Amino acid sequence: MKITEENVVQQIKNRNEKAIAFIIQTYGSLLTAIIKRHVHYNEHNEKIGPSISIK
């Protein structure tokens, strides 16, 4: 079965590995940007986290 925008979610639910490849091919650059933003955010919070004290 061909993976399309319309059936990709169902194919992921069916554990079709090709659906994940489709997501990476189609949205790879967007996923990369989101992941980098979250990694940067988490690294920033880990650096300032110990210096913040809650009383």
Query: What string of DSSP letters covers the chain?
Result: ----TTTHHHHHHTT-HHHHHHHHHHHHHHHHHHHHHHHHHHHHHHHHGGG----
Question: pLDDT of 2-39, one tens digit each?
Answer: 999 999 999 999 999 999 999 999 999 999 999 999 88
Token output for 36? 């980098």
Instruction: State yes or no: pLDDT of 51 exceeds 60.
Output: no
pTM: 0.63
How many Cα atoms occupy the beta-carbon half-sphere of 32 within 13 Å? 6
Position 1 confidence tier, pLDDT thresholds 50, 70, 90:
confident
